């Protein structure tokens, strides 16, 4: 080994992020929470830059694609969403837990226009965000099975219906805005009542997994065309 060279088993520690760069990153994330939460995911990167008080080039150094910024801004929201599912699973009454989850998740959408969109989209390159979403989905499949076993949840309810519920709620939240900020509550109550057994009538077939995933990708800011993951549950 060349004298003075670093031993491969003892690599140089990663250089700490320069404090000014770290401050800029935190400022951008905070601005993203404000702008995307207020205006939804259609808000421009330029709007985030103005809110943060930095140039667009600074944002792009930290977040080369909008999807990168979305992942950084909403990871904590997705953590809260996954926690809501875990809380629902802990409820000794699976139907009560299921209803509580839907109400909690829809309330999160109503409180944050950006997150209202995030729950109806997929971001294949945002690995941490999608990992938490998938963990929540796996838990929801279990909760759905438990709620059906009690006889309270209609037997033809499919896990993909959760995506449709979030899409419907996001549409109401975005359409009513400040003019009727609580309208989503009535819509969610109507949906919950329609889910309770005994069913009042048959439902049309649920969307195919690949078709629904494609719709979530199409709605994302980047319009990704990544292949659908395997079916779950």
Q: Which of 65-69, 104-108, 201-205, 212-216 has the highest mean pLDDT?
A: 104-108
Range with the lowest mean pLDDT among 56-60, 61-65, 184-188, 209-213?
209-213
What is the pLDDT at residue 232? 40
Task: Name the packing angle between helices 160-176 and 94-111 (round to 10°).
Answer: 40
What is the pLDDT at residue 227? 40
CATH of domain 18-64: 1.10.10
Class of domain 70-219: mainly alpha
pLDDT tens by residue, 137-147: 999 999 999 99
Which whole-number Å values give the CA distances from 157 to 87, 163, 165, 203, 222, in the listed order? 21, 12, 12, 9, 31
Confidence band (pLDDT; 50, 70, 90) for 233?
very low
Sequence-ordered list of residues with C-beta below 8 angstroms from that of 182, at least 6 positions apart, any chain: none
pLDDT tens by residue, 113-134: 899 889 888 888 888 998 998 9
Q: Are the C-beta atoms of 113 and 39 separated by less than 8 Å?
A: yes
What's the pTM value of the predicted model, to 2 decimals? 0.77
Q: Are the C-beta atoms of 88 and 51 separated by less than 8 Å?
A: no
What is the pLDDT at residue 228? 44
pLDDT tens by residue, 89-103: 999 999 999 999 999
Domain spans, the chain:
18-64, 70-219
How many Cα atoms are found within 13 Å in the side-chain-facing hemisphere of 216? 27
What is the pLDDT at residue 214? 82
How are the residues of the chain apportioned to helix, strand and coil, as percentages rounded to the nearest 5?
Answer: 65, 0, 35
Q: What are phi and psi of 38, to 5 degrees?
A: -85, -40
């Amino acid at each position: 080994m060349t004298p003075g060279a670093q031993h491969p088993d003892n690599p140089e520690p990663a250089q700490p992020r320069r404090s000014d760069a770290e401050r800029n990153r935190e400022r951008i994330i905070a601005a993203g929470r404000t702008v995307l939460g207020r205006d939804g995911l259609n808000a421009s990167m330029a709007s985030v830059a103005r809110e943060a008080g930095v140039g667009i080039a600074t944002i792009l150094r930290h977040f080369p694609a909008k999807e990168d910024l979305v992942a950084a801004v909403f990871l904590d929201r997705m953590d809260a969403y996954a926690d809501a599912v875990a809380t629902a699973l802990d409820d000794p009454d699976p139907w009560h837990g299921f209803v509580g989850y839907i109400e909690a998740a829809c309330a999160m959408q109503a409180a944050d226009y950006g997150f209202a969109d995030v729950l109806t989209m997929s971001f294949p390159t945002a690995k941490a965000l999608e990992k938490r979403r998938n963990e929540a989905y796996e838990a929801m499949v279990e909760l759905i099975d438990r709620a059906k076993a009690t006889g309270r949840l209609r037997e033809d309810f499919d896990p993909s219906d959760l995506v449709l519920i979030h899409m419907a709620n996001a549409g109401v939240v975005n359409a009513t805005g400040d003019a009727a900020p609580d309208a989503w509550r009535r819509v969610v109550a109507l949906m919950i009542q329609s889910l309770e057994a005994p069913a009042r009538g048959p439902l049309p077939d649920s969307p195919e997994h690949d078709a629904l995933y494609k719709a979530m990708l199409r709605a994302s800011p980047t319009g990704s065309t990544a292949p659908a993951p395997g079916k779950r549950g």
